[in-house]
Amino acid sequence: MATKDKLSSVSVEAAKPRKKPYKLSDGGGLYLLVNPDGSRWWRLKYRVDGREKLLSLGIYPAKSLKAARKAREDAKEQLAAGIDPSEQRKSDKANRLAARNSTFKSVAMEWFTSRSTKWANSNSEKILGRLENHVFPEIGSDPVSGLSGPRLLEVLRKVQEAGSVDTAHRVRQYMNAIFRYAIQTHRLQANPTPHSEVLPPLTSERFASITDPKGVGALLRAVRAYPGGPVTLTALKLAPLLFVRPGELRAAEWAEFDLDAAEWVIPPVRMKKRRQHIVPLSTQAVVILRELYRLTGSGRYVFPSERSPRRPMSENTLNTALRSMGYTREQMTAHGFRHMASTLLHESRKWRSEVIERQLAHADRNAIRAVYNAAEYLPERVEMMQWWADRLDTLAKANNVVSINAAKKG
């Protein structure tokens, strides 16, 4: 039986507010609720299993009388099909929200937020940067449930073809972790991440390093002749002297340094293992830092970005500088300064291995001791860092390169 309409556009428009809310019925359960503040709301009263329910259909005049009647008829069709309009609306809203929260980017950001509190800031920046540069532009808006192995492989191939097998492997690891998180949060049933074997195997180029004394001397001379900006030049000079991880160096903050005490204390939040690390500064390092302080000391970062002083130097800056100096990825990397120092310090036989490893901030196998050993072997490390700086000065002098084994006798 058709509903007999009672209202007209004129009567709806003419409805004026009163001291109390009142209703203007249109029939079939549809009415206009007129509020004291002048707002007018469409409502639909209906019954399900003998229980009266109410459904909001919108606000007049945004929702016209004709549109409200159409909404009423749609609701009646749902009721005839055994569907409760209110419950259906809730379900549709939940599905829309789930769809928004189930894109690859939304899931990835949830994963990142839940995990990044346990990472060093430099590591967090690197992971997020790789996702933003290589993954989100490709599949960020796609639902995780709709992504397939072949599609993910396309993304990884693009990264690989851009010239970085290492980054492609890293991105694959992030994808794998993100899809595992999607499964754990009930948004996915199977992990589509391609196996690592679909990518070329990683080689030692990631940590390529020069350890031959003659080659080290040539590299140091090339660094000192680097024609680029003073901030990058200073970072290149300090990288072999301090041999911290590249991310720890580039994000260094002036507040962490006590140049009078010749000490750099890196807080746990910036360390890979989330433990405070002390870097004794040689006299050479202090001189270099004091010179740089005149240039960047008014800001937060020791090595600010060229684009914005509010951000640290880009993670690619040092490697790019090495390439401009003629060193390929197979020859030398920013991370390679650590391997250089480790190799030559061990070969000198002047320093105990545990002292060298502690200065490299490598993980202590004794987890309990590791919590308390930020200053472990510190007097010996202070002496070692000065010896190492003097040794680098010797190697940097042309025609004055002697072997490490000969140097240990001095």
pLDDT at 410: 40
Name the active-site residue from 172, 237, 338, 358: 338
Is 408 catalytic? The answer is: no
Instruction: Give one word for 117, left, alpha or beta, with left for phi > 0 and alpha for psi -120 to 50.
Output: alpha
Token pair belonging to 402: 């002697």
Q: Of the candidates 289, 215, 229, which has an alpha carbon nearest to the alpha carbon of residue 256?
A: 289
The DSSP secondary-structure symbol of 312 reads B
Model pLDDT for residues 113-136, shown as the tens digit of each residue: 998 887 777 778 888 988 998 999
Name the active-site residue from 43, 126, 151, 362: 362
Model pLDDT for residues 34-71, shown as the tens digit of each residue: 999 999 999 999 999 889 999 999 999 999 999 999 99
Name the active-site residue from 134, 277, 335, 350: 335
Is 335 catalytic? The answer is: yes
Mean pLDDT, all residues of the chain: 87
Answer for the pair 349, 338: CB distance below 8 angstroms, yes or no.
no
Token pair belonging to 350: 């002047």
pLDDT at 138: 93
Ordered strands of the 263-266 beta sheet? 257-258, 263-266, 277-280
Name the active-site residue from 45, 151, 272, 300: 272
pLDDT at 337: 95
What's domain 104-202's superfamily in CATH?
Tyrosine recombinase, N-terminal domain (1.10.150.130)
Q: Give residues with Cβ within 8 angstroms of 99, minimum separation 6.
A: 143
Q: Where are the chain's structural domains?
A: 1-75, 104-202, 207-407
Given CATH 1.10.443.10, say whether it is the number of domain 207-407: yes
Question: Model confidence at 93, in pLDDT bands (50, 70, 90)?
Answer: confident
Q: Give residues with Cβ within 8 angstroms of 408, minimum separation 6.
A: 348, 349, 350
Q: Give residues with Cβ within 8 angstroms of 138, minimum separation 6.
A: 154, 155, 158
pTM equals 0.54
Is 272 catalytic? The answer is: yes
Q: How far apart are alpha carbons 101 and 113 in whole angstroms?
A: 14
Is 372 catalytic? The answer is: yes
Q: How far apart are alpha carbons 400 and 214 in whole angstroms?
A: 9
What's domain 1-75's superfamily in CATH?
Integrase, DNA-binding domain (3.30.160.390)
> Where is 279: in which H helix or E strand?
strand 277-280
DSSP string for residues in 195-224: PGGGSPPP-GGGG----SHHHHHHHHHHHH
